[in-house]
Amino acid sequence: GNSVTQMEGPVTLSEEAFLTINCTYTATGYPSLFWYVQYPGEGLQLLLKATKADDKGSNKGFEATYRKETTSFHLEKGSVQVSDSAVYFCALYGQNFVFGPGTRLSVLP
């Protein structure tokens, strides 16, 4: 079946540091790929998405590129802020939405 693997957290960074959260997937066909973010006490919110190979999703300074050849969708941000502290979930949509385990990010001032 379809599955998503993402790097284990927690990740702790200083403000303005560069962020990478790795995500790889296993799927039949050509799923759509997503990053969702969950702030404390809230539900998941869509951060960005890509629907086909080589598409780049971007939002709020975050980016991720759909790499079919490496089955990856790594999340990056050039300069993180304290307000980016949250849990980040990589997900794919094939037959259903399938989520990775989440990566907790803490950004220190």
Residue 47 CB, shortest distance to another protein, in Å, is 10
Site for another protein in 7-46 (CB under 8 A): 32, 34, 36, 42-46
CB nearer to another protein: give 40 or 109. Answer: 40
51 binds another protein (CB under 8 A): yes
Residue 43 CB, shortest distance to another protein, in Å, is 4
102 binds another protein (CB under 8 A): yes
The identity of residue 94, as a single letter, is G
DSSP string, 8-36: -S-EEEETT--EEE-EEEE-SS--EEEEE
98 binds another protein (CB under 8 A): yes
How many Å apart are CA 82 and CA 9, to the nearest integer?
17
How many Å apart are CA 98 and CA 34, to the nearest integer?
10
78 binds another protein (CB under 8 A): no
Binding residues for another protein, how many (CB under 8 A)?
21
Any residues with CB less than 8 A from the CB of 107 and at least 6 apart, and which? 12, 13, 14, 15, 17, 80, 81, 82, 83, 84, 85
What is the contact surface with another protein in residues (CB under 8 A)?
A: 32, 34, 36, 42-46, 49, 51, 89, 91, 93-94, 96-102
